[in-house]
Structure formats: C-alpha cells, structure tokens
Structure 1
Amino acid sequence: MMSSVKVECVVKGSALVGEGPVWEESDQTLLFVDIVGQKIHRWSPTTNHIQSMQTGDMVGFAVPRRSGGYVAGVGRSIVAFDWSNQTMTSLAEVDTDKPKNRLNDGKVDPSGRLLAGTMGRMSPLEVVERKQGALFSLASDLTVTKHFNQVDISNGLDWSLDQQTFFYIDSLALTVDAFNYNTHTGHMSNRHVVYHMEEGEGLPDGLTVDAAGRLWVACFNAGRVINIDPTTGVRLQTVSLPAMKTTSCCFGGPDYSDLYVTSASLGLDQSERRDQPLAGGTFRVTGLEVKGRPSNSFSG
C-alpha cells in the first residue's frame, strides 16, 4: 500500500450493519444505512453532524430521488422517503410470495432506473437461506422487472464508464460478475465472472467504479477494500481497515477523491469487539490518487 494512503474513522457510532454509502453532491453529505439498526443516516463532513431517520424494518439501501427526497429498500418494499416530514410511502413491493425475504443492496443506473436485489432474511445468527433472492429493477413509471433469481445475497452494483457493462455481486458465489447492459432498456445479458475472490479476501460485498473504470470492492470478514481492473481481472491494490466486517464503499468529498467505507459490528464476539473498537464505524480513505464519479438519482 502506498504510504500516502490514510484511513480514519469519521463516523464513530457503531452501526450493527452499516451499508450503502452514497455521496450527495448538492449538500456535500454522506448518506448511508444501518440495515439491522433500521436507520438511514446523513453525515456532514464539514459540520460532523449526523441526522438519522428510523425505518421500522430492515433497510437495505437509500438513494436520492430526482424529484426530491430519497428512495429506500425497507423490508420487501421500495419506498419514497420524505426527510423533512419523516414520512415513507410505498412505491412497489417485490418478492410478494417470499415473506421472509428482504431487500439488500440497491443502486441507480445512468438512466435513472433503480436496481435492487433481495435475499433470504438472515436469522440472528447470520444464517442465510440460500438461493431465495432475485434482482429487480424499478423504472421511472414504477413498473418492476425481475431480471433473474436463485440469488444468495444480492450485493455490489455499478456500471462501467461507457454504461455498457453492469457489475454485480452475489456474495456467497465469491465472484464479481459482469453483464452486457443496455442502459435504455435495462436489459442485461452474457453474465460472466471478472474476478474470483482469493484466499483471505472474505466475501465480496458492496462495490463502486472509479473515474478510471476500475472496481473497488469491500471484502466482508476480511477488513479490506480491493481495487480490481475488470478488463484483466487483476487486483491492483488493497486498502486495509481496522474493522473486519467491511461492507461497502463509495467515493465522495468535494472532488470525489475520498473513499468512504462502511462496516458492521453485528456478530462480533467479545474478544473481536475488544480488538476492533471501531467496528461498525464509517471510514474515510484519502491519498489513493484516484477519483470517483457522482451517483445517479432515481428518476421516478
């Protein structure tokens, strides 16, 4: 690792499962969720102030909406969130035949379409019911499309710079996959593996694509984020973090040169908690000498 790289814990509250960081350019804040803590957080690096909102059920993701407010995955519902008056309105329901499922990671494509996946709801012991999930998209007219099923844990989503490749992670498969993607129709095809996790890299979780088209993948249970070249499948860099359950990442800051990384504290035993006092915190990595891209907002 380059010596100029610095990792600091910027949000110290220990989230049970911190996830889904999104940089909001308009007010220079970091939006992220605590899935099991059932909260959406907004943190300002300039004031170090955090605002939180309760969701009443597990919340997999929250993303900005072009018309204002946010769209979040709460339980099996995709909901519109009005932060100012703290209200939620359901826009769509997924996996209606699988009451134990819940939405996990979600992200908006370059056309403003929301993609979000589900998984078999974890027991308190973090046991996942296998092959229960699916990947869905929600169009601006609120129609839901199911793209494929047989998913264990739907995670990491983002798009290539030319918008023609969709990157996707099903965590227990231990791979980062790619699809050919049509951003106008949302159609995806030709699923293939771009990276196989190596020994010690844990489970692939959230991911983001930088301005050079490279992938940054949070490695759950491995305390690191890895940087991958998707064209060669080569790992270029590893950033170590003081929390083993690293969950997701995004670029932010005034010029998108800061990498924000979320983490979880759920499931750590007493000795692990002693060794990882910052588990569940949100970290900022500086000095990577790369930049990210602005996130997309839901068009519906």
Structure 2
Amino acid sequence: MASQPKIELVVNSRCILGESPVWDERTGTLYFVDINSKRLHAFVLATGQQYGLDFYEKVGTIAPTTDKSKLLAALSRDVVIVDLDKRLVGPAVATVPESHGVEEMRFNDGKASPAGVFVVGRMHNKWRDNNPGRLYAMRLQSIPESSTFQELLTPEEVVLPNGMAWDTQRSLMYFVDTGLSTITAYKTDGEGVPVRNSDGKHDSRVVVTIPKEEGIPDGMTIAADGNLWVALADGGAVACYDANSGKQLHKVQLPVKRPTACTFGGPGLKQLFVTTREEPGNNPSEHWGGVFSVEVEGVKGAAAAYAVKLPVQ
C-alpha cells in the first residue's frame, strides 16, 4: 500500500494571488509571484532565507534565464529583465502591440520552452464573461528592441491561457485553457513552439476536459514519467493525469481551497511546490496564500531547462 502524500507549508507568504512557481536548482531557490501585490518572492530552501522585489504593475509570470542572476518577468504588455543581484527591474525587452488590448488585459502564465523560447499567455480580467486571451512565443534577439512576439493562439482559439509543459522528447507542448477546462497537446517544432499545418490549423488533441466539480485547471507541470500535475483552482487539490489517456492517476487534497500553480523542485526534484491565493468570505483556510510542498512516493519532476538566453547588452 502506497504511503500517504507528505504535505508541508514551506512559505507562509500570504499572497493575494500567488502564481508562477519556478525552481532554480543552480541556486536552490524557489521563485514565485504575487500578481495582485505586484511582487516577486524568492525562497532559498536549504537556509529558509526569503527576499522580495516590488514591481510597478502586476507581474503575471517569471522565467529563468541562462544567467542565474536574471529572470524574465511578464507584466501587462511588457516583458522585462529582472536583475536578482541588484534587485532591479530593467527596461522592457519586448512589448505587445496596443491593438492586442490594453485595458483589462495582462500577461498570465508562461514558461521557457526546452529550446529557449519564452511561451507566454495574455488574459482578459473578465474572462468569465467570455473575453478571450492570446498565446505568444517571444524570442530574445541580440538587440533587446528587436525582440518580438509571435502569436501562437488567437482570441478565436483560446479563452484563458494558463499552465504549460513539454514532453521529454520535446515534440509536444501541453497547455491548459482554464476557460475551457481543458488540457491540450500541441505538436511543436524544434524549439518547442506549437506549429500549424498547411491548412492553418494546429495538430493538436484534447488530453482531458476536467469536470467543473473537480475544480478548474490552472498552473501545470510535468513529472519525469511524463504525467501531468495540475493545480485545481477552487478544488483545493493538485491532480495528476496520464498525458496519453487523460486518466486521473492521483489527486492530493490540500489544506487550502484555492491552489493556483505547481512546479517540481528540491533535492532530486521530489517536492511539488504549490502556490495558493487568498480566500475571501467565511472560514478561510489557515494558511491561504502560502506555498506548500507535496511529496508523493515514487514521483519526481522532469529536469528543468534554463533555456531563455539573454540578449547582448
């Protein structure tokens, strides 16, 4: 009989909207953001050291770079470089056009593909009213101002872009559309970016549609065995799905109601770090907004890639 999952509060961060956990094994640091508080958090697992950095607007997601002292951060329309050593937010290296929406729009989840492309979604704050989002690929060029966005999913193709992960063969990108409650697998090019066929359509398949009573899928990561781990927002749990069949393999209930995203980290990538958010109303969980560690026997994460390359300054 398998042992029960080990669940532990690792950061009592009280995030209003905790998101985008990123583990950097080079420094043993877990990074995550509080979107609504416009703040980046850093937590050094071995020592318990914590520090933060405030932004001038909401920060939707972060991604590691090949320089361990720098991150990319996606804000409302801009992607900026964050210097962790100097605790500075740098200038924008890319900006989406105004025609793609300004009011009520911001970047949401995003990650670096295995080949170094920053794949990032942008959402409408009123997505529940069927206002759609977009998904982009951003390639950093030698001159920052030349960095551009390639639109991967148009407003006709995505509602709320969210968690993503790549298979170990780098041929598929798994993608959460929270608005549709789906996880979809997209065939990708050599850079891990979804491609279109000659008819203009993606080669894709829906892996699973998650029932509303389970919660809505939010942030996602992939395990070494190729299975997908997803935070079930409003479901109070993280769940694991077979990437081929869509069958639910594990479900771990958490001591909070609103988990948001997850990533593997810690020694041997055996800890699933889960961010959470505030719980308005009656009877909020004791540690809402904190970051939890979940350990499931026999489960570990796929090796992380620090593939986003910084432009030459």
Local SS of the residue matching 2:229 = strand
Pick closer, same or farther for the CA change 1:299–1:76 going to 2, 3 Å: same
Which residue, out of 217, 226, 230, partners 1:204? 217
- Give the share of equivalent positions with the same residue, in percent: 29
The corresponding residue for 2:45 is 45
The corresponding residue for 1:103 is 107
2:273–2:292 CA contact under 8 A, matched in 1: yes
The corresponding residue for 2:193 is 186
2:166–2:192 CA contact under 8 A, matched in 1: no
> Is 1:216–2:232 an aligned residue pair?
no
Deviation at 1:95, TM superposition (A): 4.7
1:176–1:195 CA contact under 8 A, matched in 2: yes
1:221-255 Cα shifts (integer Å, max 9, x gaps): 00001100011110001011111111010100121
Which residue, out of 174, 178, 185, partners 2:181? 174
- Take 2:283 and 2:120, find their aligned partners in 1: how far apart are those partners? 32
Pick the structure with more strand per residue. 1
The corresponding residue for 2:199 is none
Deviation at 1:84, TM superposition (A): 2.1
1:25–1:294 CA contact under 8 A, matched in 2: no
> Is 1:23–2:23 an aligned residue pair?
yes
TM-score if structure 1 supplies the norm length?
Answer: 0.92
Q: Which stretch of structure 1 is more off in the superposition, 109-118 or 133-142?
A: 133-142
Instruction: Point out 4+ residue stretches in structure 1 off by more than 4 angstroms.
Output: none
The corresponding residue for 1:66 is 66
Local SS of the residue matching 2:168 = coil
Deviation at 1:144, TM superposition (A): 1.4
Q: Which stretch of structure 1 is more off in the superposition, 92-101 or 102-111?
A: 92-101
- Take 2:27 and 2:84, find their aligned partners in 1: how far apart are those partners? 14
Deviation at 1:2, TM superposition (A): 4.3
> Is 1:281–2:290 an aligned residue pair?
yes
Pick closer, same or farther for the CA change 1:172–1:288 going to 2, 3 Å: farther
Unpaired runs of 5+ residues, structure 2, are 142-146, 196-201
- Take 2:192 and 2:89, find their aligned partners in 1: how far apart are those partners? 31
The corresponding residue for 1:253 is 266
Matches within 5 A, 1:136-175: 136-141=136-141, 142-150=147-155, 151-175=158-182
TM-score if structure 2 supplies the norm length?
Answer: 0.89
Deviation at 1:128, TM superposition (A): 4.4
Local SS of the residue matching 1:200 = helix
Deviation at 1:198, TM superposition (A): 2.3
- Take 1:281 and 1:180, find their aligned partners in 2: how far apart are those partners? 35
Q: Which stretch of structure 1 is more off in the superposition, 208-217 or 55-64?
A: 55-64
Which residue, out of 253, 257, 280, partners 1:268? 280
- Provide the alpha-carbon RMSD of the alignment: 1.7
Q: Which stretch of structure 1 is more off in the superposition, 17-26 or 134-143?
A: 134-143
- Take 1:293 and 1:255, find their aligned partners in 2: how far apart are those partners? 10
1:42-90 Cα shifts (integer Å, max 9, x gaps): 1012121211000111111111111340101111111111122223220
1:70–1:82 CA contact under 8 A, matched in 2: yes
Pick closer, same or farther for the CA change 1:168–1:287 going to 2, 3 Å: closer
Deviation at 1:185, TM superposition (A): 7.3
Deviation at 1:187, TM superposition (A): 4.0
Local SS of the residue matching 1:152 = coil
- Take 1:48 and 1:119, find their aligned partners in 2: how far apart are those partners? 33
Local SS of the residue matching 1:59 = coil
Unpaired runs of 5+ residues, structure 1, are none
> Is 1:290–2:295 an aligned residue pair?
no
